[in-house]
Structure 1
Protein backbone atom coordinates (compact mmCIF):
# COMPACT_ATOMS: atom_id res chain seq x y z
CA UNK A 1 0.00 0.00 0.00
CA UNK A 2 0.94 3.60 -0.43
CA UNK A 3 -0.28 7.00 0.66
CA UNK A 4 1.74 8.73 -2.04
CA UNK A 5 1.22 12.36 -3.09
CA UNK A 6 -1.54 13.27 -5.47
CA UNK A 7 -1.17 13.35 -9.25
CA UNK A 8 -3.10 15.51 -11.73
CA UNK A 9 -5.70 12.72 -11.97
CA UNK A 10 -5.62 10.84 -8.65
CA UNK A 11 -5.94 12.47 -5.22
CA UNK A 12 -6.29 9.86 -2.46
CA UNK A 13 -6.15 12.50 0.31
CA UNK A 14 -4.00 10.17 2.39
CA UNK A 15 -6.20 7.10 1.87
CA UNK A 16 -4.35 3.86 1.08
CA UNK A 17 -4.01 2.46 -2.44
CA UNK A 18 -3.51 -1.30 -2.48
CA UNK A 19 -0.79 -3.01 -4.48
CA UNK A 20 -3.44 -4.75 -6.60
CA UNK A 21 -5.94 -2.54 -8.45
CA UNK A 22 -9.00 -3.55 -10.43
CA UNK A 23 -9.68 -1.23 -13.37
CA UNK A 24 -13.19 -1.20 -14.81
CA UNK A 25 -13.70 1.44 -17.46
CA UNK A 26 -16.85 2.82 -15.87
CA UNK A 27 -16.29 4.63 -12.54
CA UNK A 28 -19.84 3.74 -11.51
CA UNK A 29 -18.93 0.08 -11.89
CA UNK A 30 -16.01 0.70 -9.52
CA UNK A 31 -18.52 2.16 -7.09
CA UNK A 32 -20.79 -0.88 -7.55
CA UNK A 33 -17.94 -3.26 -6.70
CA UNK A 34 -16.95 -1.25 -3.64
CA UNK A 35 -20.51 -1.08 -2.34
CA UNK A 36 -21.41 -4.72 -2.99
CA UNK A 37 -18.21 -6.70 -2.46
CA UNK A 38 -15.77 -4.76 -0.28
CA UNK A 39 -15.78 -3.95 3.43
CA UNK A 40 -14.09 -1.13 5.35
CA UNK A 41 -14.27 0.95 2.18
CA UNK A 42 -12.59 4.34 1.81
CA UNK A 43 -12.76 6.50 -1.31
CA UNK A 44 -9.34 7.14 -2.84
CA UNK A 45 -10.33 9.26 -5.82
CA UNK A 46 -13.03 11.52 -7.19
CA UNK A 47 -10.96 13.75 -9.50
CA UNK A 48 -12.92 14.18 -12.77
CA UNK A 49 -15.52 11.84 -11.22
CA UNK A 50 -13.18 8.91 -11.85
CA UNK A 51 -14.20 7.17 -8.64
CA UNK A 52 -11.78 4.89 -6.83
CA UNK A 53 -12.08 2.92 -3.59
CA UNK A 54 -9.94 0.76 -1.33
CA UNK A 55 -11.51 -1.93 0.83
CA UNK A 56 -11.17 -5.47 2.11
CA UNK A 57 -12.08 -8.68 0.30
CA UNK A 58 -11.41 -12.03 1.99
CA UNK A 59 -9.31 -10.19 4.56
CA UNK A 60 -7.04 -8.55 1.98
CA UNK A 61 -6.97 -4.94 0.81
CA UNK A 62 -7.64 -4.23 -2.84
CA UNK A 63 -8.38 -1.04 -4.75
CA UNK A 64 -10.91 -0.61 -7.54
CA UNK A 65 -10.97 2.49 -9.73
CA UNK A 66 -12.42 3.54 -13.07
CA UNK A 67 -10.06 4.00 -16.00
CA UNK A 68 -12.25 5.61 -18.65
CA UNK A 69 -12.42 4.43 -22.25
CA UNK A 70 -9.54 3.87 -24.66
CA UNK A 71 -5.79 3.39 -24.46
CA UNK A 72 -4.93 7.03 -23.61
CA UNK A 73 -7.18 7.13 -20.55
CA UNK A 74 -6.52 3.60 -19.27
CA UNK A 75 -2.75 3.83 -19.73
CA UNK A 76 -2.67 7.23 -18.01
CA UNK A 77 -4.25 5.82 -14.86
CA UNK A 78 -2.14 2.66 -15.09
CA UNK A 79 1.07 4.75 -15.32
CA UNK A 80 0.19 6.91 -12.31
CA UNK A 81 -0.96 3.98 -10.17
CA UNK A 82 2.23 2.03 -10.84
CA UNK A 83 4.86 4.75 -11.04
CA UNK A 84 3.55 7.15 -8.39
CA UNK A 85 1.53 5.01 -5.99
CA UNK A 86 3.60 1.83 -6.10
CA UNK A 87 0.89 -0.49 -7.45
CA UNK A 88 2.30 -3.89 -8.44
CA UNK A 89 -0.66 -5.47 -10.26
CA UNK A 90 -3.36 -4.07 -12.54
CA UNK A 91 -6.37 -6.22 -13.46
CA UNK A 92 -8.59 -4.74 -16.13
CA UNK A 93 -12.25 -5.82 -15.99
CA UNK A 94 -14.49 -4.71 -18.82
CA UNK A 95 -16.58 -5.60 -21.83
CA UNK A 96 -15.59 -6.75 -25.29
CA UNK A 97 -17.16 -7.45 -28.65
CA UNK A 98 -16.86 -11.09 -29.59
CA UNK A 99 -15.36 -12.03 -32.97
CA UNK A 100 -14.62 -15.75 -32.65
CA UNK A 101 -17.45 -18.09 -33.69
CA UNK A 102 -17.18 -19.96 -30.39
CA UNK A 103 -18.06 -16.85 -28.40
CA UNK A 104 -21.46 -15.50 -27.46
CA UNK A 105 -22.82 -12.93 -25.05
CA UNK A 106 -21.99 -13.43 -21.35
CA UNK A 107 -18.85 -15.48 -22.14
CA UNK A 108 -15.65 -14.60 -20.29
CA UNK A 109 -12.55 -13.74 -22.34
CA UNK A 110 -9.04 -13.43 -20.90
CA UNK A 111 -6.45 -11.57 -22.95
CA UNK A 112 -3.25 -13.63 -23.00
CA UNK A 113 -2.04 -11.01 -25.47
CA UNK A 114 -3.37 -7.86 -27.10
CA UNK A 115 -2.89 -6.92 -30.72
CA UNK A 116 -3.60 -3.28 -31.48
CA UNK A 117 -4.15 -0.67 -34.17
CA UNK A 118 -3.07 2.05 -31.73
CA UNK A 119 0.12 4.08 -32.21
CA UNK A 120 0.76 3.88 -28.45
CA UNK A 121 3.76 1.54 -28.77
CA UNK A 122 5.70 3.99 -30.94
CA UNK A 123 6.74 5.99 -27.87
CA UNK A 124 9.04 3.16 -26.76
CA UNK A 125 11.10 3.39 -29.97
CA UNK A 126 11.72 -0.34 -30.04
CA UNK A 127 13.65 -1.88 -32.93
CA UNK A 128 10.73 -4.13 -33.83
CA UNK A 129 7.15 -4.94 -32.86
CA UNK A 130 6.30 -5.29 -29.17
CA UNK A 131 3.70 -7.96 -28.26
CA UNK A 132 1.68 -6.78 -25.22
CA UNK A 133 1.27 -9.85 -23.02
CA UNK A 134 -0.49 -10.73 -19.77
CA UNK A 135 1.27 -11.64 -16.54
CA UNK A 136 1.57 -15.41 -16.36
CA UNK A 137 1.08 -15.49 -12.58
CA UNK A 138 -2.19 -13.57 -12.87
CA UNK A 139 -3.31 -15.50 -15.95
CA UNK A 140 -2.67 -18.88 -14.32
CA UNK A 141 -4.40 -17.70 -11.12
CA UNK A 142 -7.54 -16.66 -13.00
CA UNK A 143 -7.55 -20.02 -14.80
CA UNK A 144 -7.40 -21.86 -11.47
CA UNK A 145 -10.15 -19.70 -9.97
CA UNK A 146 -12.34 -20.33 -13.01
CA UNK A 147 -11.98 -24.08 -12.43
CA UNK A 148 -13.03 -23.65 -8.79
CA UNK A 149 -16.09 -21.65 -9.79
CA UNK A 150 -16.85 -23.79 -12.86
CA UNK A 151 -16.72 -20.73 -15.12
CA UNK A 152 -15.65 -21.48 -18.72
CA UNK A 153 -12.86 -19.22 -20.02
CA UNK A 154 -11.81 -18.26 -23.54
CA UNK A 155 -8.11 -17.36 -23.42
CA UNK A 156 -6.18 -15.90 -26.34
CA UNK A 157 -5.39 -12.82 -28.38
CA UNK A 158 -7.69 -9.80 -28.38
CA UNK A 159 -7.65 -6.61 -30.41
CA UNK A 160 -7.21 -3.29 -28.62
CA UNK A 161 -8.63 -0.75 -31.03
CA UNK A 162 -8.68 3.03 -31.00
CA UNK A 163 -11.82 2.93 -33.15
CA UNK A 164 -15.32 2.22 -31.86
CA UNK A 165 -17.28 3.28 -34.95
CA UNK A 166 -15.16 1.80 -37.73
CA UNK A 167 -15.22 3.49 -41.16
CA UNK A 168 -14.49 0.17 -42.92
CA UNK A 169 -16.19 -2.69 -41.03
CA UNK A 170 -14.34 -5.28 -43.12
CA UNK A 171 -11.16 -4.45 -41.18
CA UNK A 172 -12.57 -6.29 -38.18
CA UNK A 173 -12.94 -9.50 -40.18
CA UNK A 174 -9.22 -9.38 -41.03
CA UNK A 175 -8.35 -9.54 -37.32
CA UNK A 176 -10.82 -12.36 -36.76
CA UNK A 177 -9.19 -14.32 -39.60
CA UNK A 178 -5.92 -14.16 -37.61
CA UNK A 179 -7.59 -15.91 -34.67
CA UNK A 180 -8.26 -12.80 -32.58
CA UNK A 181 -11.07 -13.61 -30.15
CA UNK A 182 -12.60 -10.23 -29.43
CA UNK A 183 -12.17 -6.46 -29.67
CA UNK A 184 -11.91 -3.92 -26.84
CA UNK A 185 -10.15 -0.58 -26.32
CA UNK A 186 -7.66 -0.67 -23.42
CA UNK A 187 -5.63 -3.78 -22.68
CA UNK A 188 -2.63 -3.29 -25.02
CA UNK A 189 -1.90 0.09 -23.45
CA UNK A 190 -2.25 -1.32 -19.94
CA UNK A 191 0.00 -4.29 -20.74
CA UNK A 192 2.70 -2.12 -22.29
CA UNK A 193 2.63 0.45 -19.50
CA UNK A 194 2.92 -2.28 -16.88
CA UNK A 195 5.72 -4.03 -18.77
CA UNK A 196 7.74 -0.82 -19.05
CA UNK A 197 7.46 -0.34 -15.29
CA UNK A 198 8.13 -3.95 -14.30
CA UNK A 199 4.58 -4.50 -13.01
CA UNK A 200 2.01 -7.21 -13.72
CA UNK A 201 -1.21 -6.81 -15.69
CA UNK A 202 -4.16 -8.91 -16.78
CA UNK A 203 -7.33 -8.08 -18.73
CA UNK A 204 -10.57 -10.02 -18.26
CA UNK A 205 -13.73 -9.27 -20.25
CA UNK A 206 -17.37 -10.19 -20.52
CA UNK A 207 -18.69 -10.44 -24.07
CA UNK A 208 -21.37 -7.75 -24.29
CA UNK A 209 -22.10 -8.27 -28.00
CA UNK A 210 -20.89 -10.29 -30.96
CA UNK A 211 -19.62 -8.34 -33.96
CA UNK A 212 -20.65 -10.89 -36.59
CA UNK A 213 -23.57 -12.74 -35.00
CA UNK A 214 -25.37 -9.52 -34.15
CA UNK A 215 -26.21 -10.67 -30.62
CA UNK A 216 -26.03 -8.15 -27.80
CA UNK A 217 -26.99 -7.61 -24.18
CA UNK A 218 -29.09 -4.90 -22.62
CA UNK A 219 -27.69 -2.60 -19.94
CA UNK A 220 -29.45 -4.62 -17.23
CA UNK A 221 -28.18 -7.92 -18.64
CA UNK A 222 -24.65 -6.54 -18.83
CA UNK A 223 -24.78 -5.73 -15.12
CA UNK A 224 -25.66 -9.35 -14.31
CA UNK A 225 -23.01 -10.74 -16.66
CA UNK A 226 -20.38 -8.43 -15.24
CA UNK A 227 -21.18 -9.78 -11.77
CA UNK A 228 -19.92 -13.21 -12.83
CA UNK A 229 -16.65 -11.62 -13.96
CA UNK A 230 -16.31 -9.60 -10.76
CA UNK A 231 -16.77 -12.68 -8.58
CA UNK A 232 -14.15 -14.49 -10.64
CA UNK A 233 -11.53 -11.72 -10.44
CA UNK A 234 -11.95 -10.55 -6.84
CA UNK A 235 -10.48 -13.69 -5.17
CA UNK A 236 -7.50 -13.54 -7.54
CA UNK A 237 -6.92 -9.89 -6.66
CA UNK A 238 -7.10 -10.66 -2.95
CA UNK A 239 -4.56 -13.48 -3.19
CA UNK A 240 -2.13 -11.85 -5.63
Structure 2
Protein backbone atom coordinates (compact mmCIF):
# COMPACT_ATOMS: atom_id res chain seq x y z
CA UNK A 1 0.00 0.00 0.00
CA UNK A 2 1.23 3.48 -0.81
CA UNK A 3 2.64 5.21 2.30
CA UNK A 4 0.53 8.26 1.64
CA UNK A 5 -2.68 6.26 2.14
CA UNK A 6 -1.67 4.45 5.31
CA UNK A 7 -3.58 5.31 8.42
CA UNK A 8 -1.28 7.24 10.80
CA UNK A 9 -0.43 5.51 14.05
CA UNK A 10 0.97 6.75 17.35
CA UNK A 11 4.30 5.04 16.64
CA UNK A 12 4.47 6.24 13.01
CA UNK A 13 2.33 9.38 12.58
CA UNK A 14 2.76 9.78 8.81
CA UNK A 15 -0.45 11.33 7.46
CA UNK A 16 -1.15 11.69 3.74
CA UNK A 17 2.47 10.79 3.05
CA UNK A 18 3.85 13.78 4.97
CA UNK A 19 6.23 13.99 7.91
CA UNK A 20 4.30 14.96 11.05
CA UNK A 21 6.25 18.12 11.91
CA UNK A 22 8.10 19.35 8.84
CA UNK A 23 5.02 18.64 6.71
CA UNK A 24 7.15 17.54 3.77
CA UNK A 25 6.32 14.51 1.66
CA UNK A 26 8.41 11.53 2.73
CA UNK A 27 9.53 11.08 -0.87
CA UNK A 28 10.56 14.74 -1.29
CA UNK A 29 13.77 15.35 -3.21
CA UNK A 30 15.72 17.76 -1.03
CA UNK A 31 19.37 18.89 -0.92
CA UNK A 32 21.88 16.76 0.95
CA UNK A 33 23.04 19.84 2.91
CA UNK A 34 20.73 21.71 5.30
CA UNK A 35 21.37 24.79 7.43
CA UNK A 36 19.57 24.84 10.77
CA UNK A 37 18.73 28.23 12.29
CA UNK A 38 16.70 28.25 15.48
CA UNK A 39 14.31 31.09 14.67
CA UNK A 40 11.98 30.45 11.69
CA UNK A 41 12.15 34.18 10.86
CA UNK A 42 15.83 33.72 9.99
CA UNK A 43 14.85 31.97 6.78
CA UNK A 44 14.29 35.54 5.56
CA UNK A 45 18.02 36.18 6.06
CA UNK A 46 18.90 33.08 4.03
CA UNK A 47 16.53 34.37 1.34
CA UNK A 48 18.35 37.72 1.44
CA UNK A 49 21.80 36.12 1.12
CA UNK A 50 20.92 33.47 -1.47
CA UNK A 51 20.85 33.79 -5.23
CA UNK A 52 17.38 32.21 -5.21
CA UNK A 53 15.11 30.88 -2.47
CA UNK A 54 11.69 29.28 -2.06
CA UNK A 55 9.71 28.20 0.98
CA UNK A 56 8.57 24.60 1.20
CA UNK A 57 6.57 24.42 4.42
CA UNK A 58 5.69 26.33 7.59
CA UNK A 59 4.40 24.50 10.65
CA UNK A 60 4.79 25.57 14.29
CA UNK A 61 8.46 26.44 14.85
CA UNK A 62 9.51 24.47 11.78
CA UNK A 63 9.95 26.40 8.53
CA UNK A 64 11.76 24.85 5.58
CA UNK A 65 13.06 26.19 2.32
CA UNK A 66 15.45 25.50 -0.55
CA UNK A 67 17.89 27.99 -2.00
CA UNK A 68 20.85 28.31 -4.33
CA UNK A 69 24.15 30.08 -3.75
CA UNK A 70 26.95 30.19 -6.28
CA UNK A 71 25.07 27.70 -8.43
CA UNK A 72 24.80 25.15 -5.60
CA UNK A 73 21.60 24.06 -3.88
CA UNK A 74 21.04 23.96 -0.13
CA UNK A 75 18.16 23.52 2.30
CA UNK A 76 17.17 25.42 5.43
CA UNK A 77 15.03 24.18 8.32
CA UNK A 78 14.42 26.07 11.57
CA UNK A 79 14.69 24.00 14.75
CA UNK A 80 12.96 26.20 17.27
CA UNK A 81 14.51 26.40 20.74
CA UNK A 82 16.11 23.50 22.59
CA UNK A 83 16.82 19.81 22.27
CA UNK A 84 13.29 18.49 21.85
CA UNK A 85 12.48 20.40 18.68
CA UNK A 86 16.04 19.94 17.36
CA UNK A 87 15.65 16.17 17.75
CA UNK A 88 12.48 16.30 15.65
CA UNK A 89 14.27 18.17 12.87
CA UNK A 90 17.24 15.80 12.87
CA UNK A 91 15.11 12.66 12.72
CA UNK A 92 12.80 13.95 10.01
CA UNK A 93 15.63 15.36 7.87
CA UNK A 94 17.43 12.03 8.20
CA UNK A 95 14.33 10.28 6.90
CA UNK A 96 14.53 12.54 3.82
CA UNK A 97 18.11 11.49 3.13
CA UNK A 98 19.87 14.66 4.31
CA UNK A 99 23.57 13.96 4.89
CA UNK A 100 25.08 17.19 6.26
CA UNK A 101 23.71 19.82 8.61
CA UNK A 102 25.08 23.11 9.91
CA UNK A 103 23.50 24.84 12.88
CA UNK A 104 23.57 28.60 12.25
CA UNK A 105 22.40 30.55 15.28
CA UNK A 106 23.33 32.49 18.37
CA UNK A 107 25.07 31.78 21.66
CA UNK A 108 26.48 33.28 24.83
CA UNK A 109 30.25 33.51 25.29
CA UNK A 110 32.01 32.31 28.45
CA UNK A 111 35.37 34.02 27.82
CA UNK A 112 36.15 37.73 28.26
CA UNK A 113 38.06 38.13 24.99
CA UNK A 114 35.14 36.89 22.88
CA UNK A 115 33.16 39.96 21.82
CA UNK A 116 29.51 40.29 20.94
CA UNK A 117 29.21 39.89 17.18
CA UNK A 118 32.16 37.47 17.00
CA UNK A 119 31.61 33.97 15.60
CA UNK A 120 32.05 30.68 17.45
CA UNK A 121 32.59 27.35 15.71
CA UNK A 122 32.34 24.41 18.10
CA UNK A 123 34.60 21.40 17.70
CA UNK A 124 32.44 19.61 20.27
CA UNK A 125 29.86 20.26 22.96
CA UNK A 126 29.28 19.27 26.59
CA UNK A 127 26.06 17.26 26.62
CA UNK A 128 23.79 18.97 29.14
CA UNK A 129 20.66 18.69 27.02
CA UNK A 130 17.93 16.13 27.44
CA UNK A 131 16.75 14.61 24.17
CA UNK A 132 20.02 13.01 23.08
CA UNK A 133 20.17 11.07 26.36
CA UNK A 134 17.26 9.02 25.02
CA UNK A 135 19.54 7.77 22.23
CA UNK A 136 22.88 7.00 23.83
CA UNK A 137 24.65 7.17 27.19
CA UNK A 138 25.93 10.56 28.30
CA UNK A 139 29.60 9.56 27.91
CA UNK A 140 29.11 9.43 24.12
CA UNK A 141 30.75 12.59 22.72
CA UNK A 142 28.96 15.33 20.82
CA UNK A 143 31.51 16.27 18.16
CA UNK A 144 31.46 18.19 14.90
CA UNK A 145 32.78 16.85 11.63
CA UNK A 146 36.41 18.12 11.68
CA UNK A 147 36.55 18.85 7.96
CA UNK A 148 33.42 21.00 8.14
CA UNK A 149 34.88 22.84 11.13
CA UNK A 150 38.02 23.64 9.13
CA UNK A 151 36.02 24.86 6.14
CA UNK A 152 33.90 27.15 8.32
CA UNK A 153 37.01 28.56 10.00
CA UNK A 154 38.64 29.14 6.59
CA UNK A 155 35.53 30.90 5.32
CA UNK A 156 35.48 33.20 8.36
CA UNK A 157 39.19 33.96 7.91
CA UNK A 158 38.68 34.89 4.25
CA UNK A 159 35.97 37.33 5.28
CA UNK A 160 38.17 38.85 8.00
CA UNK A 161 35.77 37.76 10.75
CA UNK A 162 36.82 37.06 14.33
CA UNK A 163 35.99 33.38 14.81
CA UNK A 164 36.80 31.23 17.85
CA UNK A 165 37.00 27.44 17.63
CA UNK A 166 36.55 25.35 20.76
CA UNK A 167 34.32 23.28 22.99
CA UNK A 168 30.86 24.63 23.78
CA UNK A 169 28.10 23.47 26.10
CA UNK A 170 24.45 22.83 25.34
CA UNK A 171 21.90 23.03 28.13
CA UNK A 172 18.11 22.64 27.92
CA UNK A 173 17.49 25.70 30.07
CA UNK A 174 17.65 29.40 29.29
CA UNK A 175 17.31 30.81 32.79
CA UNK A 176 18.40 28.58 35.70
CA UNK A 177 20.60 26.33 33.57
CA UNK A 178 22.56 29.30 32.23
CA UNK A 179 22.78 31.07 35.57
CA UNK A 180 20.45 33.94 34.70
CA UNK A 181 18.64 35.96 37.35
CA UNK A 182 15.06 35.03 38.18
CA UNK A 183 13.35 37.69 40.26
CA UNK A 184 12.11 36.34 43.59
CA UNK A 185 13.80 32.97 43.12
CA UNK A 186 17.25 31.85 44.17
CA UNK A 187 18.89 29.30 41.88
CA UNK A 188 20.26 26.42 43.99
CA UNK A 189 23.73 24.98 43.58
CA UNK A 190 26.89 26.32 41.98
CA UNK A 191 27.06 28.58 38.94
CA UNK A 192 27.23 26.43 35.83
CA UNK A 193 28.70 29.22 33.66
CA UNK A 194 31.63 29.63 36.05
CA UNK A 195 32.16 25.87 36.32
CA UNK A 196 32.24 25.38 32.56
CA UNK A 197 34.35 28.47 31.92
CA UNK A 198 36.99 27.19 34.32
CA UNK A 199 37.11 23.99 32.25
CA UNK A 200 37.83 25.91 29.06
CA UNK A 201 34.30 25.80 27.62
CA UNK A 202 33.87 28.89 25.45
CA UNK A 203 30.11 29.24 24.98
CA UNK A 204 26.55 28.19 25.82
CA UNK A 205 23.69 27.33 23.48
CA UNK A 206 20.57 25.14 23.56
CA UNK A 207 20.75 23.01 20.40
CA UNK A 208 24.26 22.06 19.29
CA UNK A 209 24.88 18.88 21.28
CA UNK A 210 21.58 17.38 20.18
CA UNK A 211 22.43 18.06 16.54
CA UNK A 212 26.02 16.78 16.83
CA UNK A 213 25.10 13.63 18.79
CA UNK A 214 22.20 12.58 16.59
CA UNK A 215 24.19 13.32 13.43
CA UNK A 216 26.94 10.95 14.54
CA UNK A 217 24.48 8.24 15.51
CA UNK A 218 22.54 8.48 12.24
CA UNK A 219 25.57 8.59 9.95
CA UNK A 220 25.27 12.29 9.16
CA UNK A 221 27.90 15.04 9.38
CA UNK A 222 27.34 18.19 11.42
CA UNK A 223 28.96 21.49 12.33
CA UNK A 224 27.89 24.89 13.61
CA UNK A 225 28.66 28.58 13.39
CA UNK A 226 27.17 30.79 16.09
CA UNK A 227 27.04 34.56 16.40
CA UNK A 228 27.78 35.75 19.93
CA UNK A 229 24.70 37.53 21.29
CA UNK A 230 25.99 38.01 24.83
CA UNK A 231 29.04 37.55 27.04
CA UNK A 232 28.47 36.07 30.49
CA UNK A 233 31.86 37.25 31.76
CA UNK A 234 31.47 40.92 30.84
CA UNK A 235 27.64 40.93 30.91
CA UNK A 236 27.66 42.58 27.48
CA UNK A 237 24.50 42.03 25.39
CA UNK A 238 24.00 42.54 21.65
CA UNK A 239 20.63 44.30 21.39
CA UNK A 240 20.34 44.12 17.60
CA UNK A 241 21.96 40.95 16.30
CA UNK A 242 20.47 40.88 12.81
CA UNK A 243 23.76 41.84 11.14
CA UNK A 244 25.67 39.26 13.19
CA UNK A 245 23.22 36.53 12.16
CA UNK A 246 23.45 37.56 8.51
CA UNK A 247 27.24 37.43 8.79
CA UNK A 248 27.08 33.88 10.19
CA UNK A 249 24.76 32.84 7.37
CA UNK A 250 26.97 34.36 4.67
CA UNK A 251 30.06 32.71 6.19
CA UNK A 252 28.31 29.34 6.15
CA UNK A 253 27.08 29.76 2.58
CA UNK A 254 30.55 30.67 1.34
CA UNK A 255 32.21 27.50 2.67
CA UNK A 256 33.79 25.11 0.21
CA UNK A 257 31.70 22.18 1.51
CA UNK A 258 28.68 23.76 -0.17
CA UNK A 259 30.23 22.52 -3.42
CA UNK A 260 30.67 18.91 -2.29
Query: TM-score, normalization: structure 2?
Result: 0.83
Equivalent in 98, 104, 112 of residue 93 of structure 1: 104
**Conservation of the 8 A alpha-carbon contact between 1:31 and 1:52:** no
Query: Residue 102 of structure 1 corresponds to which residue in structure 2?
Result: 113
Q: Distance in 2 between matches of 1:116 and 1:195?
A: 14
Match of 1:141 in 2: 151
Supply the RMSD in Å over aligned alpha carbons. 1.8
Aligned residues of 1:12 and 1:43 also touching (Cα < 8 A): no
Would the aligned equivalents of 1:23 and 1:66 in 2 still touch at CA under 8 Å? yes
Q: Is the 8 A contact 2:28 2:96 kept in 1?
A: no
2:78 corresponds to: 66
Give the Cα separation in 2 of the matches to 1:50 and 1:119. Answer: 20
Bigger share in helix: 1
1:27 positional shift: 0.4
| Residue 151 of structure 1 pairs with residue 148 of structure 2 | no
- Choose which of 31, 46, 68 in structure 2 pairs with 1:33: 46
Query: Is the 8 Å Cα contact of residues 16 and 54 (structure 1) preserved in structure 2?
Result: no
Shift of 1:39: 3.5
- Matched ranges for 1:148-227 at <5 A: 148-166=158-176, 167-168=187-188, 170-218=191-239, 221-227=240-246
Contact 2:87 2:132 in 1 (8 A): no
Q: Secondary structure at the match of 1:46?
A: strand
Report how far residue 142 of structure 1 moved.
0.9
Structure 1 runs of 4+ off > 6 angstroms?
Answer: none
Aligned counterpart for 1:6 among listed residues 1, 8, 18: 18
Inter-partner Cα distance in structure 1 for 2:153 and 2:128: 28
Which secondary structure does the structure 2 equivalent of 1:233 belong to? helix
Q: Is the 8 A contact 1:52 1:66 kept in 2?
A: yes
2:30 matched to 1:17?
A: yes
Counterpart-to-counterpart distance in 2, 1:40 and 1:215: 36
Structure 1 pair 119/46, CA: closer, same or farther in 2 (3 Å)?
A: closer
Report how far residue 25 of structure 1 moved: 0.2
Is the Cα contact below 8 Å between 1:79 and 1:194 reproduced in 2?
A: no
Q: List alignment gaps of at least 5 residues for structure 1.
A: none
Select the structure of larger CA radius of gyration: 2
How many residue pairs get matched? 231
Aligned equivalents of 1:125 and 1:87: distance in 2?
21
Q: State the TM-score, normalized to the length of structure 1.
A: 0.90
Partner in structure 1 of residue 249 of structure 2: 230
User: Structure 1 residue 121: deviation in Å?
Assistant: 3.9
User: CA separation in 1, counterparts of 2:69 and 2:233?
Assistant: 38
Gaps of 5+ in 2: 1-16, 177-186
Q: 1:121-164 CA distances to partner (integer Å, 9 max, x unpaired)?
A: 432344x7111000012111112212221222100010101111
